[in-house]
Amino acid sequence: MSRFERVCSIDELPGEGGVRRVDVDGNPVALIKTEGSLFAIDDTCSHDEVSLSDGDVDGHTLECWLHGSRFDVRTGEALCKPATKSVPVFDIKIEADGVYVSTSPSTAVPQTTATTATTKLESNA
C-alpha cells in the first residue's frame, strides 16, 4: 500500500497551465495543473536528467526545456524524441489541509482523489 506525503497547501498549487516542483520522500516531483485537473510526474527528464518543472505545459503535455522531449502528464509516456522512456506518475490526494502525493509511482493511470477536488482546484485558479 502506498503512503502519501503532504507537499503543499491548496493555495500553493500552480495556476492553470503551471508547474510546481515538490519533493516527495526526497525525490523531485512536478505538480502540473492543466485543464482543471492536477497531475504529478517524476520531475526528471528520462533523456537528459534535467528538471521537467522548468518546461512548458500544453494541454496534457509537458515539454522538457532542454531538448524538447514531451511527456503526457496523465501517463508519463514519452511522446517524442529524444526521450524514448516514460517517466513515473504518482497518485494525488487533495484534502482540506493540503495536497498529498504518493511516495511510490503508480502502476496504473494515476488518480486524484477528493470529494471536492475539482471545486478546490477551480477555486484556486
Nearest-angstrom CA–CA distance, 58 and 79: 13
**Helix (H) / strand (E) containing 118:** helix 117-123
Boundaries of domain holding 31: 4-123
pTM above 0.75, yes or no: yes
Q: How confident is the model over 13-27, as pLDDT tens digits?
A: 999 999 999 999 999
Contact 93, 4 (CB under 8 A): yes
Domain containing residue 41: CATH number: 2.102.10.10
Cis peptide before 82 (omega within 30 of 0): yes
Q: How confident is the model over 76-89, as pLDDT tens digits?
A: 999 999 999 999 99
Give how many domains the chain has, as a whole number: 1
Residue 23: other Cβ atoms inside 10 A: 12
∠107-116-113 over CA atoms, to 5°?
A: 10
Question: Which of 40, 52, 45, 49 shows the shortest CA–CA distance to 5?
Answer: 40
DSSP state of 44: B
Question: Can you give the pLDDT at residue 49?
Answer: 86
**Could you read off the pLDDT tens digit of each residue along the chain, which spans 125 residues?**
679 999 999 999 999 999 999 999 999 999 999 999 999 999 999 999 899 999 999 999 999 999 999 999 999 999 999 999 999 999 999 999 999 999 999 876 555 544 333 334 544 44
Place of cell 500552480: 14
